[in-house]
């Protein structure tokens, strides 16, 4: 009695006319169908793998060009030289100069984005009514939706003149304006993720605090923020990552002049704006100047990767909390 199926026996019993004929036909084409389904799955898999190929491509190209670069320039010099003048006859390749620009611009930006972003997140999560949230959230999202070139324009032609009224010695290109505008642009990154982290804190924790007679501010600061801490930290890391990677605002408003200083009142070049400067020029493919942008790019990649990993680890930690 226990007989396993083969394609032909499956069609025997169906009562209706179409049934039997259809099932037989269906069974006959089973092999073809299986193959089609498998082909479709492979095509979809290939598409999903494009992201892996992209990462491999990025790593490959950065490493390959940097390898040629580091064949000429020792790593130690790269990390410790205090000048960055790759296109001069007396060429110097000290990445610290560009890093200084990146650090000072990010510091200015984050000193605005982190406090304001956190305050906004706490306000929207714990204080604001539904209507306020509905209006403010999209408005803040718009801040991150404006193309950065336009922020660059704004920093150069609006913020800098305004700052110059307060401090007339401010040079036309300076890190401060760019940093301020960058900071405002990054606010939604910080506030959105922090707010999500805080909204995820269960209501029961808040109720416990209110029941003890605490105000909204006390509950927010003593109960909600500590509970959402790793999510908030992840938001900060996202902000840092975004600041380090920003290009156009700095390229337009901070000048593209390498300058080993942490003073935001001067112009400076960052890793990102340097790459733009080179790309705007005419560097022959394969020359040392051309390779410097890949070395710079590799440094940037490692920096961003470092922050992304920390952020990823923190996000996993916060998901495990509930």
* Closest CB to another protein among residues 33, 80: 33
DSSP string, 23-89: HHHHHHTHHHHHHHHHHHHHHHHHHHHHHHHHHHHHHHHHHHHHHHHHHHS-HHHHHH-S-EETTSS
| Stretch (H or E) spanning 84 | strand 84-85
In the window 91-110, what residues touch another protein (CB under 8 A)? none
* CA nearest to 225, candidates 207, 206, 204, 212: 206
Residue 31 binds another protein, judged by CB under 8 A = no
Residue 262 binds another protein, judged by CB under 8 A = no
The residue within the footprint of another protein, chosen from 82, 215, 263, 287 (CB under 8 A), is 215
In the window 34-73, what residues touch another protein (CB under 8 A)? 36-37, 40-41, 43-45, 47-52, 54-55, 57-58, 61-62, 64-65
How many residues touch another protein under the rule CB under 8 A: the total is 105
* Closest CB to another protein among residues 43, 263: 43
Q: Distances from the Cα of 63 to the Cαs of 53, 68, 69, 178, 251, in angstroms?
A: 15, 9, 10, 30, 25
Please compute Rg for the chain using Cα positions.
28
Residue 212 binds another protein, judged by CB under 8 A = no
Q: Distances from the Cα of 7 to the Cαs of 1, 29, 75, in angstroms?
A: 17, 10, 68
CB of 22 to another protein, least distance (A): 5
Which of the stretches 4-12, 86-94, 200-208, 257-265 binds another protein when contact is defined by CB under 8 A?
4-12
- Which x/- pattern, by CB under 8 A, does the window 272-291 give for another protein? x--xx--xx----x------
Residue 77 binds another protein, judged by CB under 8 A = no
In the window 240-259, what residues touch another protein (CB under 8 A)? 241, 244-248, 251-252
Residue 143 binds another protein, judged by CB under 8 A = yes
Residue 147 binds another protein, judged by CB under 8 A = yes
Residues 6+ apart with CB under 8 A from 132: 124
* CA nearest to 253, candidates 313, 178, 303: 178
d(CA 236, CA 141): 17
Which of the stretches 91-99, 120-128, 225-233, 258-266 binds another protein when contact is defined by CB under 8 A?
120-128
């Amino acid at each position: 009695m226990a007989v396993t199926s083969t394609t032909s026996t499956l069609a025997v019993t169906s009562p209706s006319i179409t049934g039997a004929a259809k099932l037989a036909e269906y069974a006959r084409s089973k092999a073809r169908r299986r193959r089609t389904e498998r082909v479709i799955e492979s095509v979809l898999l290939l598409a999903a793998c494009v992201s892996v190929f992209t990462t491999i491509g990025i790593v490959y190209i950065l490493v390959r060009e940097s390898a040629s670069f580091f064949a000429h320039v020792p790593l130690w010099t790269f990390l410790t030289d205090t000048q960055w003048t790759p296109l001069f006859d007396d060429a110097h390749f000290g990445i610290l100069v560009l890093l200084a620009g990146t650090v000072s611009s990010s510091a200015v930006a984050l000193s605005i984005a982190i406090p304001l972003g956190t305050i906004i997140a706490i306000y929207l999560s714990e204080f604001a009514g539904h209507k306020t949230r509905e209006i403010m959230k999209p408005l803040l999202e718009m801040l991150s939706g404006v193309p950065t070139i336009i922020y660059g324009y704004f920093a150069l032609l609006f913020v800098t003149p305004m700052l110059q009224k307060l401090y007339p010695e401010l040079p036309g290109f300076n890190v401060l304006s760019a940093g301020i505008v960058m900071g405002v642009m990054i606010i939604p990154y910080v506030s959105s993720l922090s707010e999500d982290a805080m909204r995820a804190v269960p209501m029961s924790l808040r109720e416990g605090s209110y029941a003890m007679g605490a105000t909204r501010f006390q509950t927010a600061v003593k109960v909600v923020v500590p509970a959402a801490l790793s999510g908030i930290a992840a938001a900060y890391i996202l902000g840092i990552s975004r600041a380090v990677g920003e290009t156009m605002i700095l390229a337009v408003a901070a000048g593209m002049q390498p300058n080993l200083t942490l003073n935001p009142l001067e112009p400076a070049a960052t890793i990102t704006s340097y790459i733009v400067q080179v790309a705007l020029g005419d560097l022959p493919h394969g020359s040392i100047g051309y390779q410097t942008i890949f070395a710079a790019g590799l440094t940037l990649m490692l920096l961003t990767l470092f922050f992304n990993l920390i952020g990823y680890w923190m996000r996993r930690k916060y998901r495990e909390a509930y």
